Structures are given as structure tokens and as C-alpha cells.
Amino acid sequence: VLARDGQDVVRDEQCRAVSGTWFSPYDDRTLTAASQVDIDHIVPLANAWRSGADTWDTPTRKAFANDLENPQLIAVSAASNRSKGDQSPDQWSPPSRAYWCTYSRAWTHIKHVYRLNVTEAERDQLNVMLDTCD
């Protein structure tokens, strides 16, 4: 994810990203050190658990946690990821309203693909966010 989402990413001999530039769409910040970047699960693991993942088998849980095919993993600022925690859109939305459309579409897609439940409050906020799409 660091290589995919970054620019001019340099890796060390153990393939760890050690430098590059990353844009955090949650808070419109440009980050210049890998230590400033977190990999966020759009739908947090704890939220997924509360939404139905508690019934999954281990391979499905692993697939969800490491999903690079769907818009589930994204490089963002550590600060924004930590403020989000395991909250759903009705509890936390990206500070950058310009990203609300993309975020709500990704959230909705992941919940659909993995057949996870959506609360009424979550749905209401997702509709507000989806209304920002052109």
C-alpha cells in the first residue's frame, strides 16, 4: 500500500518503505516520511466484527484484513487514522469534505462485497456524504 499510494518510494534491503511522498486524502496533508503514514482499513476491523465478521471463518477474516483488490486499504496520515479509530461514518468522517464522495463509495462497496450490516445512523451519514458526489 505504501508503494502503491506513494510517489518516489524508496525501499530498504528488507523491502520496507523508508522514504517517499504520500498524500493523505482524509486531511489533505502531504507526508514526506513513511513514519507519518498509517495504512487504514476503510471499514475498520472492529467495525466489521460488529457488522457481521464475527461469523466469518479465518480465511475470510484474513482476506478482509489484507484486501488489495477492493478499496479497503489506503495510506493516510497517522493522525487522521488514529482520530478515526474503529468508528463508522456517523461517528467520524474525513475532515476533508472533498474526499467524502470517494470515502462513502468505498465504505459502501466494502460493506456490500463482504455482506456486512449497516446501521441506520451509518446509512444516514453515508447518504449525506454520497450527496457530495458530482
pLDDT tens digit sequence for 11-70: 999 988 888 999 999 999 999 988 899 999 999 999 999 999 999 999 999 999 999 999
Can you tell me the distance from the alpha carbon of 122 to that of 90, in angstroms, rounded to the nearest whole number? 5
Q: Are 41 and 72 in contact (CB under 8 A)?
A: yes
Q: What is the DSSP string of 3-49?
A: HHHEEEEEE-TTS-EEEEEEEETTTTEEE-SGGGEEEEESS-HHHHH
pTM of the model: 0.91
Question: Which pLDDT value is given to residue 34?
Answer: 87
26 grid coordinates: 482524509
Type and span of the H or E element at 58 = helix 58-65
